[in-house]
């Protein structure tokens, strides 16, 4: 049985994380794996309030350092209040975004110092790192076509160049952590992506999944 793993999903806006998370949940339900799913920023009352500030398109004066610290505050609360207790109970945790989002968006996207962001991330998570991270990789032009948001939030309004930098940032993260991070071509059909993700999880955690 698969217990106590932290599985994170990353990628630019419109990469299709939510659909893939739903498909993984369906697979876990089928296999009887206990799990909890959270989205970042969010997942606790306080973190959801911070989310409203972060995504409010009227908050255009939000400085990048303040933005980073707000993401970190939301993550700190989520980690202690929800993620760590769930893992301690043996549940798997699926997280829609985690620390890599801060490195990709605030580091590579906004150009903030990555070493500093790593320290902030480390404080927020008390050193907790994902067991496996799926980076859904897609061309920003295609992702924005997919979203076609009628009313883009503050982050989505940033433009294609910003998302190009974030995409490259994710590639660098993958090079830095080749065992933890798996890049998935998110331009394939949802069904193929899901199959690939399920197979990778089966392979990576084979022993735990078969010794139940």
Interface stretch with ligand TYD, choices 23-31, 96-104, 184-192, 193-201 (CB under 6 A): 96-104
Question: Which one among 105, 162, 163, 170 touches ligand TYD, defined by CB under 6 A?
Answer: 105
Q: How far is the CB of 208 from ligand TYD (least distance, A)?
A: 28
Selected binder of ligand TYD within 44, 47, 79, 101 (CB under 6 A): 101
Q: Is 52 helix (H, G, I), strand (E, B) or coil?
A: helix
- d(Cα 105, Cα 12) in Å, to the nearest integer? 9
Per CB under 6 A, contacts with ligand TYD among 44-73 are: 55, 71
Size of the site for ligand TYD (CB under 6 A): 15
The binding track of 112-151 with respect to ligand TYD, each residue x by CB under 6 A or -, is: ----------------------------------------
Per CB under 6 A, 162 contacts ligand TYD: no
Contact (Cβ atoms closer than 8 angstroms) between residue 76 and residue 123: yes
Q: Where are the beta strands (DSSP E) in the chain?
A: 6-11, 35-39, 92-96, 132-137, 181-185
Longest dimension (CA), the chain: 53
Print burial letters for 69-92: b (CB count within 10 Å at least 16), e (below 16): ebbbbbbbbbbeebbbebbeeebb
| The total number of residues written for the chain in this structure | 212
- Tokens representing 35 are 């799990």
Residue 198 is encoded by which pair of tokens? 């399920």
Q: Using CB under 6 A, pick the residue from 13, 21, 47, 181 that binds ligand TYD.
A: 13
Binders in 29-48 for ligand TYD, by CB under 6 A: 39-41
Q: Which helix (H) or strand (E) holds 56?
A: none
Instruction: Choose which of 69, 155, 202, 209 interacts with ligand TYD (CB under 6 A).
Output: 155
Nearer to ligand TYD, 33 or 181 (CB): 181
Q: Is 167 in the site for ligand TYD (CB under 6 A)?
A: no
- Cβ–Cβ < 8 Å for 96, 13: no
Instruction: Please pick, from the candidates 97, 108, 165, 167, the single residue that binds ligand TYD as defined by CB under 6 A.
Output: 97
Which residues here bind ligand TYD, judged by CB under 6 A?
13, 39-41, 55, 71, 96-97, 101-102, 105-106, 153, 155-156
């Amino acid at each position: 049985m698969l217990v106590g793993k932290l599985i994170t999903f990353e990628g630019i806006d419109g990469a299709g994380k939510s659909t893939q998370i739903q498909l993984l949940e369906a697979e876990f339900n089928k296999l009887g794996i206990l799990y909890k799913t959270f989205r970042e920023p969010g997942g606790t009352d306080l973190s959801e309030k911070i989310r409203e500030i972060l995504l409010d398109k009227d908050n255009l004066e939000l400085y990048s350092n303040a933005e980073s610290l707000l993401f970190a505050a939301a993550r700190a609360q989520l980690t202690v209040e929800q993620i760590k207790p769930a893992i301690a109970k043996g549940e798997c945790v699926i997280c829609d975004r985690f620390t890599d989002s801060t490195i990709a968006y605030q580091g590579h996207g906004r150009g903030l110092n990555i070493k500093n962001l790593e320290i902030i991330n480390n404080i927020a998570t008390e050193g907790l790192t994902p067991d496996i991270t799926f980076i859904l990789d897609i061309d920003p032009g295609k992702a924005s076509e997919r979203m076609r948001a009628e009313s883009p939030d503050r982050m989505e309004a940033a433009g294609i160049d910003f998302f190009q930098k974030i995409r490259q940032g994710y590639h660098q993260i993958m090079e830095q952590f080749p065992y933890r991070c798996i890049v998935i071509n998110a331009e394939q059909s949802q069904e193929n992506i899901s199959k690939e993700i399920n197979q990778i999880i089966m392979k990576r955690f084979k022993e735990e999944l078969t010794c139940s």
